[in-house]
Amino acid sequence: MPRATLDRSADRKEAQLSPPRRSTRRADFRARTWVGWGFVAPALLMYAVFVLRPLFLTFEYSLYRWDGIGPSTWVGLGNYGRVFADRDLYGAILNAFELILFFSVIPVGLGLAIAATIRSIAASRLALIARTVVFLPQVIPLVAAGIAWSWLLSSTGLVNQILSAVGLGGVTRAWLGDFSTALPAVGVIGAWVLLGLCTLLLLAGMTKIDPALYEAARIDGASAWREFRSVTVPSLRQEIGVCVTVTVIAALASFDIVYIATQGGPGNTTMVPGLEIYYLAFSQREVGLASALAVVLMVLVLGCVLPIQWLTREES
């Protein structure tokens, strides 16, 4: 069996390598185009049915007032007006932007530092352990992470126990239930989850950097910091771009962690658009308003991610 496979692949290679005969080239091309479409068709169909269709339906729903079952009323762009007029709704969007600090800035910044550190001790066993430990949160389901962290951050949880043990009993509180700390506490969970992904991506990017650059920098007498700033970071432009894109989307479209840890409370301080859309559509049965918020969220995500892509694209 393996032999047969090998043979066949060898045949194919040969067929590809031999130049096509001039007379049949045109017909060949046309046939190949159709075969190409044939291969793409299943995926395209799935994409149309499961991505494009819901997208257009969402946009359509957003123009109606509808409870999901009964008759709907055309309200034009009225639902969009409500999204920007209702403090609860646009407040959720503002919270999502605050989460970017925790979901993007901290994981990417800290990830760069950790990746650089791990690279400098690349040969030792410690590097392997560090890499595994930092990446571990990425393997744990978000729901499990949310539950574990809500225990850690509870009034009798490990975080408060440690604070009390080092004499900081005065600052202990129910971190997820306090108006001033709930959103940062949720942010910390997100940072913990996304740090591993960023570190690993950046570390992989670092292995690509030509060692000669570092050598040249060292000969020129560059300090470690200068090396990091002038060689490492610019070479990781694309990887940083990917990290920032993925984490910004995670922040703006966050749902699971918030749903598990605080459900948007206390007093809507941790409400995010993803959660609000879910509540609107399934609890309050305002499918139109939920769809409008979803469309706004999508536009916002694109509005944030496209400039990042443009800024970090490879200059050629």
Partner 1 sequence: MARRVRARAGRPLLVALVTVGTLAVTACSGPGGGSAQATSTPTSFSSAPTCGTAAVTLSGYFETGFPLPKSLTEEFSKQYPNVKWTIREDQFAVITQNAPRVLADDPPDLMRLPQVSELVKDGLLKNLDAYAAVYGWDKWPASQLAQMRIGPGGRPRGEGSLYAMGLNFSMTGVFYNKTLAAQIGLTTPPSTLDELDTALAKAKQAGITPILQFNGGATGGLAFPLQNLMASYGPAGPINDWIFQKPGASIDTPSNRQAVEHLDRWIKAGYFVKDANALDYATMMSRFIAGQGLLMFDGDWESGNLDKQMAGKVGFFLMPPAQSGGKRAAMSAPLTFGISTKAKHADCAAFFLNWVATNPQAREIAVRVGGSHPMGPADAPMPTVTPGTVTASTLEAGAQIGKDNGAMDFIANATGAIYAKSWTPQLQKLVAGQQTPQALLSTVQHDYESQVGS
Residues that bind partner 1 (CB under 8 A): 26, 29, 33, 44, 48, 52-53, 56-57, 60-61, 64, 66-74, 88, 154-155, 173-179, 262-268, 279, 282-287
Quote the CA–CA distance of 108 and 151 in Å, as a whole number: 26
- Asked if 56 and 231 touch (Cβ cutoff 8 Å), the reply is no
Provide the minimum distance between the beta carbon of 124 and partner 1 in the complex, in angstroms, as a whole number. Answer: 42
Q: Which is nearer to partner 1, 55 or 126 (CB)?
A: 55
Provide the minimum distance between the beta carbon of 18 and partner 1 in the complex, in angstroms, as a whole number. Answer: 21
Residue 236 — φ and ψ, nearest 5°?
-95, 10
- Asked if 79 and 63 touch (Cβ cutoff 8 Å), the reply is yes
Quote the CA–CA distance of 194 and 205 in Å, as a whole number: 17
DSSP secondary structure code for residue 64 in this structure: E
Q: Which is nearer to partner 1, 6 or 44 (CB)?
A: 44
Quote the CA–CA distance of 82 and 52 in Å, as a whole number: 25
- Asked if 243 and 198 touch (Cβ cutoff 8 Å), the reply is yes
Provide the minimum distance between the beta carbon of 304 and partner 1 in the complex, in angstroms, as a whole number. Answer: 24
Q: How many CB atoms lie within 10 A of CB 18?
A: 8
Provide the minimum distance between the beta carbon of 152 and partner 1 in the complex, in angstroms, as a whole number. Answer: 12
Q: Which is nearer to partner 1, 157 or 235 (CB)?
A: 157
Q: Which is nearer to partner 1, 89 or 236 (CB)?
A: 89
Provide the minimum distance between the beta carbon of 230 and partner 1 in the complex, in angstroms, as a whole number. Answer: 41
Q: Which is nearer to partner 1, 2 or 70 (CB)?
A: 70
